Structure 1
Amino acid sequence: MRDKGLHALLSPVVTALGYELLLVERIKQGRNDSLLRLYIDKETGVVVDDCAIVSRQVSAVLDVEDPVSGNYTLEVSSPGVERPLVTREHFQQFVGQRAKVRLFSPIGLESRRNFSGLLEGFDQTNDTLQMEIDGEHYTLPFAQIEKANLLVTL
């Protein structure tokens, strides 16, 4: 589950270190435990040392601010080949590539909420994503996107 509050808290810290904070996920693991997963990126790519640098700094901020109740494990990761797409700019950047998109609620005559296909474009005026899936064209409202990732093309 995306955590916008933690993203807002941690983004300036990660940005000051020279990285982009793509996404913060909070995943419940039991009654009082959770996993905090941060995806970071930079122009030249992310290596293990980058994750360690960000982890140390973010841990210090989390210790001081204490925004997470219960126990948690912090995980800092590169976006990987199935990179999360979160912002409008991400969708624009990866036009022409394949992606998987899940909406908060079903749309259209098919009552569909999962889409996998080619990113054709992003219409800033209407705030919509255009996708081509099996020869069909779909327009997806950006506000309805729950989760999106690039797909590995073999």
Structure 2
Amino acid sequence: MENNELNNALETAIKGCGVDLYDIERLKENENNILRVSITSPDGVTLDKCAEVSSIISPILDIYDPMSDKYNLEVSSPGIERKLKIPNHFKASIGELVEIKSFDKTKIKGKLLEADDTKIKVEQIDSKEVIEFSYSDISVAKTYFQW
């Protein structure tokens, strides 16, 4: 099964649980393979909801093995500080503090003001200057929480 097909099957099953698929990551930590499925909801994500999603998607993963070796499934919220990878991640984070690193090594922290399908606008914390980035210029982006 192609990754897109697997993602679509998981997204449909997860939506049936009343939450949204945020991200799927395949990781290796301390010799262990991990399939990390992040879910979101406007009402928040509870431990019970993670357990429900895990039990719903496990049969799908048994049929369409997402990794070549044995792995552990983790279902969780992406957290308060999370990676932003696709336009929908940015759109859902408007108004939050973000850290952006571009491919030309520009690094800024600021408030995400706007996001559409091609670009974002961030107001820098210190200077209040608004900087526009196209997604193709962004190397790494994440939200962050200021303590």
Unaligned runs of 5+ in 2: none
Does residue 1:18 correspond to 2:11, yes or no? no
Match of 1:65, as an amino acid?
Answer: Y
How many residues of Structure 1 are paired with residues of Structure 2 in the alignment? 143
Cα offset for 1:49?
Answer: 0.5
Contact 1:6 1:24 in 2 (8 A): no
Q: CA RMSD in A?
A: 2.5
Match of 1:74, as an amino acid?
Answer: L
Counterpart in the other structure of 2:123: 132
Q: Secondary structure of the residue that 1:130 maps to in structure 2?
A: strand
Match of 2:90, as an amino acid?
Answer: F
Cα offset for 1:4?
Answer: 5.7
Unaligned runs of 5+ in 1: none
Cα offset for 1:94?
Answer: 2.8
Between 1:56-65 and 1:94-103, the stretch displaced more is 94-103
Distance between the aligned counterparts of 1:5 and 1:147, measured in 2?
26
Counterpart in the other structure of 1:119: 112
Counterpart in the other structure of 2:63: 64
Match of 1:77, as an amino acid?
Answer: S
Match of 2:25, as an amino acid?
Answer: E
Contact 1:23 1:84 in 2 (8 A): no
Match of 1:117, as an amino acid?
Answer: G
Structure 1 or 2: more strand by fraction? 1
TM-score, normalised on structure 1?
0.76
Distance between the aligned counterparts of 2:116 and 2:23, measured in 1?
22
Q: Secondary structure of the residue that 2:71 maps to in structure 1?
A: strand
Q: Secondary structure of the residue that 1:112 maps to in structure 2?
A: coil
Between 1:10-19 and 1:140-149, the stretch displaced more is 140-149
Cα offset for 1:21?
Answer: 0.4
Distance between the aligned counterparts of 2:140 and 2:8, measured in 1?
18
Between 1:49-58 and 1:7-16, the stretch displaced more is 7-16
Distance between the aligned counterparts of 2:144 and 2:53, measured in 1?
26
Distance 1:120 1:19, change over 3 A: same
Match of 1:41, as an amino acid?
Answer: T
Contact 2:87 2:116 in 1 (8 A): no
1:66-119 C-alpha deviation (Å, 9 max, x unpaired): 23210111100112222443442432343222012345xx1xxxx215443211
Distance between the aligned counterparts of 2:27 and 2:115, measured in 1?
29
